[in-house]
Amino acid sequence: MKQVYRIDGMHCAGCASAVERKLNSLEGVEAVVSLPAETATIDVAQSDLSFSDLREAVASAGYELSPPVRDPGDALRAERERLERADAALDGARARMRLAWALTVPIMIWMIPEMVFGVRWPNAVAFDAGMTLLALIVAAGPGRATFRGGWRSARGGVPNMDVLIALGAGVSIATGAWAILHALGVAPMIMNYAGIGAMIVAIHLTGRFIEIRARGRASAAIQALLSLEAPTARVEREGAELEVPTADVRLDDIMVIRPGERIPTDGVIVEGRSSLDESLATGESIPVDRAAGDPVIGSTVNHAGVLRVRATGVGADTFLARVIRQVEEAQASKVPIQEFADRVTAIFVPTIVIIASLALVGWLVFPDALASIAARASGLFPWVNHDLGRGSLAVFAAVAVLVIACPCALGLATPTALMVGTGLGATRGVLVRDGAAIQALDSADTLVFDKTGTLTRGRPAVVEVRTVRTGQAEGSGDLPVGNASEMEVLRLAAAVEATSEHPLSRAIVSYADELGVVIPRARGAHAEVGRGVRGELAEGTVRVGNRQLMAEGGIDIGPIETALTDLETGGRTVVLVALETHVLGVIAMADPVRDDAGETLRALRGQGLRTIMLTGDTESTAKAVAEAVGIDDYRARMLPADKVDAIRDLQASGASVAFVGDGINDAPALKIADVGLAVGSGTDIAIEAADVTLVSEDLAAVLRARRLARATFRKIKQNLFWAYFYNVIAIPVAFLGLLHPAIAEAAMALSSVTVVANANRLRFTRL
């Protein structure tokens, strides 16, 4: 069973990697740890593995596992608690940073006379002792958590970034104690870097604070969604209206929503008509009209009339809760491109410790060769002093290597961009279930569409009415047999179809209503299964159906045969209308193409994508829709298994396939495709099978999903490039003694902040 757990104490990529390795070492456990979300998504296959076993594994890495964050009774409360903890962590990071600088600034001021004039005030022993004491206070006070975290992770065999910082700062402070011994005449000379150790801790804590704040901005989308929830609801109970907290709304409660108020929870309108702002779900700012019988989404805004709504989803079952849960799952997942970064991160800290040790030994064993390089570079790097003793130069280089090489930027590159991207998508009607879908959608070169409900509206509508003419002018009085007008044909058909729930029947009745046709009541109407409907009106017996129904009534359809064949050839669904023994006309219906289908398909082809339509409909209907939307290729009369085979054939030919569908029969194709996109108007089964859910019913949501994937993956690649480039350049420079440890620590912190800031730029992307 897969559950999401909170991990306390993580603050770098090494932390997340260590926890993940410990959890995955347990038999039957698959875990994915997210540093930005501070969670672990754990799938436990073994029923005998307890929470205590999981917690013990995490504790062995030096961190703490909390019980599952998902509270089934209140899906949103757990997320609020997480955000409250994030705020508390930010406050703590701010306090530690301020205290560190309050102690470090006096150290820096005290260092100025020695740096500028070579004067250790008031004397060498007091200077070294005071500098070392203040640095120790910085390390033991605000820096205590860093040293403690480094010790725990090293003891657990999974060293993290804290190890590098603790070693760098600790070695620097240790030089202060050595310098005191030298001043007392009992040890050889070495440069006092204790002040640099304090600066390393202060700069590290500053970077940590900025990073935590930036990560908080990355989850701004979830915070925004939480802020949309209506705090209270007005419900009808025992004949009275009561105002209760939204969390207390029960299934089937009748809620009363006035203009300007938010709908407390998901429901169905039982009375009233209004326009609703559903932008939180669809990303579209244009209000939509809703009336009795229409479903509504919790937290959307009622613009106009008073509505009475029956609650159909509360707590964890609301749209808002499902969106937040899906965003959390996506943010906790991984993108395939991250795998290499994870492998590097896993061995990064031990490798850097080895490189730093080599730098120390190298400067002690080959000081002349390395010092000659430092001497030539002293003009470009004013802090380089090649006249220092070999011991001081060795410590200088080793400390710089330790603090410059931090895997944090590598670890944050992918998950932070993924967090911002999926959060942005959630506010624009694009819900990403898994991070891998981002990469798959970015690399897709073939888009396969289902027809019904995807390229079309998914419900039939009348598109044309044709009649049999015998010469009498339209509207001349009594209805002559065989000479009915279009409106009269529609009136007769709607009268008998009003008794049926068949989709074609509803389409005819709806069209008659739109035209203002007065529909008479038919007597004795009943459906002829597979053929049509028959009923009695004042004018006589009316039959509406196919050729077989007409033949059973002895009706000659010859007068309308040409029109019938013409419409069927054009991909229309056609029903014949007859009165007594004479055919009067035909009503043609079709599943209308979505208004934006053609424009969307053109835009996708403009991006170099191949577009294909798969449908179970007839060849003629498929051809008509394909021509209407301008799709590249189409295949008709396909069963669900045929669609799966078609996608597999495309994949076997080297295509990367994205499938867009909405129905139950689309679920297998959504699963087998490289990435599946379900339109939000589709079934729950299709949405559960898909990697991406498009909440909006307009097809342009496919374009928004594609833009989101491309923008997010572009940020991931940018972040990974700069993280690798930074380390590749910085580590050799530090090894050669050309990088001041304090500057190295500042650069390290800046690299992490830069990666997070670059990811946050996604929030301004136009989808």
Segment holding 453, helix H or strand E: none
Burial classification of residue 128, based on how many CB atoms lie within 10 Å of its CB (0-12 exposed, 13-18 middle, 19 or more buried): buried
pLDDT of residue 236: 93
**pLDDT confidence of 286, banded at 50, 70, 90?**
low
CB atoms within 10 A of CB 542: 23
Q: Which of 411, 374, 335, 453 is nearest to 739 (CA)?
A: 374
Number of separate domains in the chain: 5
Flag the least confident range among 101-110, 141-150, 284-293, 681-690: 681-690
Tens digit of pLDDT for each residue in 60-91? Answer: 888 888 877 554 445 556 666 767 777 888 89
Q: Domain check: are 372 and 296 in the same one? A: no
Task: Tell me, yes or no, whether 521 lies in a domain.
Answer: yes
Band of pLDDT at residue 392, cut at 50, 70 and 90 = confident
**In the prediction, which pLDDT does 646 show?**
94
Report which of 267, 266, 280, 277 is spatially closest to residue 228, judged by C-alpha positions. 280
Candidate list 450, 617, 666, 691, residue with the active-site label: 450
Range of the domain at 267: 230-313
Q: Is residue 585 part of a domain?
A: yes
Q: Which of the 8 DSSP states describes residue 193? A: -
Least confident piece of the model among 205-214, 428-437, 586-595, 599-608: 205-214
How many alpha carbons fall within 13 Å on the CB side of residue 508?
Answer: 33
Instruction: Identify the band that residue 104 occupies on the pLDDT scale cut at 50, 70 and 90.
Output: very high
Percent of the chain residues past pLDDT 90, beyond the cut = 27
Q: Are residues 480 and 559 in the same domain?
A: yes
Does residue 284 surpass a pLDDT of 70? no
Residues 489 and 541 in one domain: yes
CATH for 309? 2.70.150.10
What pTM, to 2 d.p., does this model score?
A: 0.69
Average pLDDT over residues 416-441: 86
**Residues 109, 103: Cα–Cα separation, whole Å:** 11
Task: Classify residue 325: in a domain, yes or no.
Answer: no
C-alpha to C-alpha distance for 426 and 438, rounded to whole angstroms: 13
pLDDT score of 86:
76
691 and 571 co-located in one domain = no
535 and 626 both lie in a single domain? no
Residues 171 and 271 reside in one and the same domain: no
Question: What pLDDT shows up at residue 540?
Answer: 92
Pairing of strands 633-635, 610-614: parallel
Instruction: Indicate if the alpha-carbon torsion angle 8, 9, 15, 21 is positive or negative.
Output: negative
Instruction: Specify if 324 maps to a domain.
Output: no
Q: What is the pLDDT of residue 723?
A: 81
Q: Do residue 295 and residue 381 come from a single domain?
A: no
Is the pLDDT confidence value at 692 over 80?
yes
> With 70 as the cut, is the pLDDT of residue 237 above it?
yes
10 Å Cβ neighbour count for 527?
18
Sorted by sequence, the CB contacts under 8 Å of residue 347 that are 6+ apart come out as none
Classify residue 710: in a domain, yes or no. no
Helix (H) or strand (E) holding 536: strand 532-537
The CA-atom distances, in angstroms, between 37 and each of 11, 219, 278 are 11, 8, 27
- Beta strand segments in 642-748, E: 657-661, 675-679, 692-694
Tokens of 106: 């006096």
What pLDDT shows up at residue 687?
62
Give the model's pLDDT for residue 542.
95
pLDDT (tens digit per residue) in 481-509? 445 688 999 999 999 999 887 878 889 99
Half-sphere CA count of 451, side-chain side, radius 13 A: 31
Which range of 321-325, 436-440, 688-692 scores highest in mean pLDDT? It is 436-440
Looking at residue 376, what is its pLDDT? 72
What is the per-residue pLDDT for 184? 82
450 is catalytic: yes
Structure tokens at 597: 């289908």
Residue with tokens 């001021």: 109
Boundary (domain end) residue, out of 313, 346, 371: 313
Both 623 and 677 in one domain: the answer is: yes
pLDDT at 483: 56
Please name every residue paired with 75 in a beta bridge, in sequence order, or none if there are none: none
Q: At 583, which helix (H) or strand (E)?
A: strand 582-590
CATH number at residue 550: 3.40.1110.10
Q: Please state the rounded mean pLDDT for residues 396-412.
A: 79
Q: Specify whether the CB–CB gap between 588 and 560 falls below 8 A.
A: no
Q: Which two tokens stand for residue 212?
A: 């935590």
pLDDT average, residue stretch 100-108:
92
pLDDT at 359: 92
Pick from 1, 173, 150: nearest CA to 70? 1
pLDDT tens per residue across span 288-343: 888 888 889 888 889 878 999 999 988 777 877 777 777 766 766 677 877 777 67
Backbone φ, ψ for residue 630 (5° rounding) = 75, 40
User: How does pLDDT run across 241-262, given as a tens digit for each residue?
Assistant: 999 988 889 999 999 999 989 9
- Asked if residue 663 is part of any domain, the answer here is yes
Q: Say yes or no: 48 and 91 in one domain.
A: no
703 CB-near residues (< 8 Å, 6+ apart):
600, 603, 604
Choose the final residue of a domain: 41, 69, 97: 69
Pairing of strands 692-694, 582-590: unpaired
Helix or strand (DSSP H, E) at 612: strand 610-614
Q: Which residue has the higher pLDDT, 1 or 260?
A: 260
Average pLDDT (351-377) is: 85
Place of tokens 């939000």: 680
Most confident of 83-87, 213-217, 325-329, 439-443: 439-443
CA distances from residue 647 to 111, 652, 684 in whole angstroms, order as listed: 69, 9, 22
**Within a domain: 700:** no
User: Which residues 6+ apart lie within 8 Å of 464 measured at CB?
Assistant: 567, 572, 587, 588
264: in domain: yes
Average pLDDT, rounded, for the chain: 83
Q: Are residues 551 and 651 in the same domain?
A: no
What's 87-118 look like in SS3? Answer: HHHHHHHHHHHHHHHHHHHHHHHHHHHHHHHC
Least confident of 352-361, 386-395, 423-432, 666-675: 386-395
Residue 482's pLDDT is 46
The pLDDT of residue 407 is 64
pLDDT of residue 61: 82
Question: 36-50, 125-139, 220-234 — which one is most confidently predicted on average?
Answer: 125-139
Is the predicted pLDDT of residue 470 greater than 60, yes or no?
Answer: no
Position 280 scores a pLDDT of: 66
- Tokens for 580, please give them: 């007594």
pLDDT given for residue 47 in this prediction: 64
Q: Are residues 92 and 164 in the same domain?
A: yes
pLDDT band at 34 (very low <50, low <70, confident <90, very high): confident
| Domain at 654, CATH number | 3.40.50.1000
Are 341 and 408 within one domain? yes
**Of 349 and 363, which is predicted with more confidence?**
363
DSSP string, 247-282: GG--TTPEEEE-TTPBP-SEEEEEE--EEEE-HHHH
Q: Which of 663, 695, 727 is the last residue of a domain?
A: 695
Residue with more model confidence, 702 or 406: 702
Most confident by average pLDDT, 132-136, 166-170, 273-277, 467-471: 132-136
The Cα 179–Cα 187 span in angstroms is 8
